[in-house]
Structure 1
Amino acid sequence: MFEKFFGDFKNDFWIISALEYNDARSSNNRYFYYFQEYRLGKRLGFFLPHSQEYEELDDWEEFTPYESLILTFDSDLYMPFAKVMLDMVFNLVVGQTFFLINPKLQIAVYPHDDASFGIIALNEDPTTGVEFLKFCEQDPRFEVYFKDGVLEDYERRKAQFSEATQWNFPKEWHRSPSFFNDRQTHRRKEMELIKEKIKKNTL
């Protein structure tokens, strides 16, 4: 679902993660679907050896040692490693600190538990995240939950966009995943269009 929706923006994602591995957690490694990718992640240092420091943390989700944070910019690696995490979390993979960041779309996507995604808007606009989750909702295997107020905000912005398109904005301004991301640019173009319409007495 992720690759289908964000395929055109694949090269715009990068990873910040803090994952460890513990081979002693399972004796049935051959049953994991992404075991070869898991071995690659260990070899490249994407998955770090499990440390005593992690064992001693009461809640590592609230406090991740900075020495464990890893940045990955290779777009060919982030999906295989995300699948490894979903396949092996709570087993060979220790931890759930894994965020796919897309500055262009202003979102952060994070796989968690063993079969799900969460999404965070990095600005005030939830549009891209809502549309991704609505896309996932088309698959009956997914259950989608929205934070209170998010859908109301999305519908309000959608209505504003619908009103804007009735003013015959140029096609290149029409809806795209990053339409509202550069808010200042959009507002500037909007004001320029309004001024032109005022000059032509078309408002």
Structure 2
Amino acid sequence: MASTNAEKQQYSEVEVEGELEVSPDVLIKHPLENTWTLWFFKIDPTKTWEDCQMLVASFNTIEDFWAVYNHIDPPSLLKNGRDYSLFKQHIKPMWEDENNCNGGRWLLNVSRQQRTADLDNYWLEVLMLMIGETLEEYSKNICGAVVSVRNKGDKIGVWTEDAKDDISNIAIFIVIFLIAGILDPWKFPIPGK
């Protein structure tokens, strides 16, 4: 369906008396429930593990997420031994952080053969579900996620705040790995079988 000139002007730039004005609708950003911080890990034998973690950027809108995401290499292009981590602001991607020390993680192993075909899509899907608060009341239990590129195979981990909160942790697993299509529910082992 073609847009009329009036509709186009409503959502775009308008020239008024020689000055360019932008419709407020174009300037509105879409806030996220939380502020998120992207970290990059690069091993350096001369530094402590914690010092190898580099804060890349923090964001709290979907537009700022895309601005960051579109200016970094995808995980499949990272060299072996490198990680990206995306955690809620003020939570470091380390087990010693007070928000992580009683938590757990769901871990997805991705074979080297899947790196070019699947790793980037899986990582993006996890990020979108996580920052979009898709899990509603269970989202508060998510601390962050890590993608690790390794010689033997890559990993995506979703870190949770409370390892004993079974209902929340199972909901996180179901939404992030099964509903997102990362794991085939028909190939998932049934406990007790």
Fold agreement, TM-score > 0.5:
no
Give TM-score, length-normalised by structure 1: 0.23
Q: TM-score, normalised by structure 2?
A: 0.24
The structure richer in helix per residue is 1
Q: Which has the higher strand share?
A: 2
